Amino acid sequence: ILPFVSVNQVLLLLLVLTVCAILYNKVHQVSSALKNEAVDSETPEEMEEEIPVVICAAAGRMGAAIAAISSIYSNTEANVLFYVVGLKTTIPHIRKWIENSKLKEIKFKVVEFNPMVLKGKIRQDASRPELLQPLNFVRFYLPLLIQKHEKVIYLDDDIIVQGDIQELYDTKLAPGHAAAFSDDCDLPSTHEMVRSVGMQNTYMGFLDYRKQAIRDLGISPSTCSFNPGVIVANMTEWKHQRITKQLEKWMQRNVEENLYSSTLAGGVATSPMLIVFHRKYSTINPMWHIRHLGWSPDTRYSEHFLQEAKLLHWNGRYKPWDYPSVHTNLWEKWFIPDPSGRFKLTRPDS
């Protein structure tokens, strides 16, 4: 009898184990389905890539940064994180402006730039003192300011974005390239503008070829320059190639040897980048950097051409928040008045 009983017990035990296994699988499947559903529901928010955009907010021209941010935010569905870089004295003003306007919905971080990093690296130049403002050199120090991103967009404040910033972010950088810029010879429709106002678009306009240190670089003076007012940067390559250290080296050499400060273009921030990135950069779609809008108060592009442009840049002396300037309507539509009333547009009737 005992063996018979033990066989029955074994069969009963096997039956119980089978039922338990079936129930476990059922519960596990439901649990997995719920878990997957939860992950799926989070995907749009959690998995969407963040696009970091760096813009400086300088004293006296904060309205420029506000208009630039407003234009970017209004023309994209992308998950943009704005890094608004300022000096200690300007940060409270820009933060208040954002938080007390319709821009309060944006994702942003305010980053303080310490101008002490520039000590001994800037040569005084009375011809264009505005080019010596500390925030003009923020682009040299991107990896120190932006820690967690592989790819970063840097924009000058005197720009307006009319396209979807996602397109600019998707710019392909060739292997080994730390940055992409706009080539100054890339757009035939701008060549007439360049010639008519006597602008330079070659290295000759930025570097002093009378100096041996410049001639030793072996760069032809007729090489086409690029504009670093719009940058798509790869932070890993930037750090790996020690780009910041290389730029600082040329800044210090300029202090000692005056290699570029007093040349025609006055490219205090552009010139070191032209040296360091020579033949080592990718290019941005030309329509993503239509520039020279601030070069002359008289010379204008066709309205149709500007409507097609993805990004407009008022580089030059004649800014769209000042007077005189051109194509101010394309800038002013994105401007948000200062809630504190401190920043005001300069207009003929003001």
Q: How far apart are CA 305 and CA 296, in angstroms?
A: 18
Q: How far apart are CA 242 and CA 178, in angstroms?
A: 10
**Pick from 281-285, 289-293, 297-301: least confident:** 297-301
The per-residue pLDDT of the chain, averaged, comes to 87
pLDDT tens digits along 185-220: 866 656 566 555 556 788 988 999 999 999 999 999
What pTM does this model have? 0.84
Find the angle CA(165)-CA(267)-CA(221) to the nearest 5 degrees: 105
* 22, pLDDT greater than 80: no
What pLDDT is recorded for position 193? 61
Backbone dihedral angles phi then psi of residue 214, each to the nearest 5 degrees: -75, -45
CATH of range 51-188+226-240+281-333; options 1.20.1050.10, 3.90.550.40, 3.20.20.10, 3.90.550.10: 3.90.550.10
Q: How far apart are CA 330 and CA 160, in angstroms?
A: 8
Residues in the chain: 350
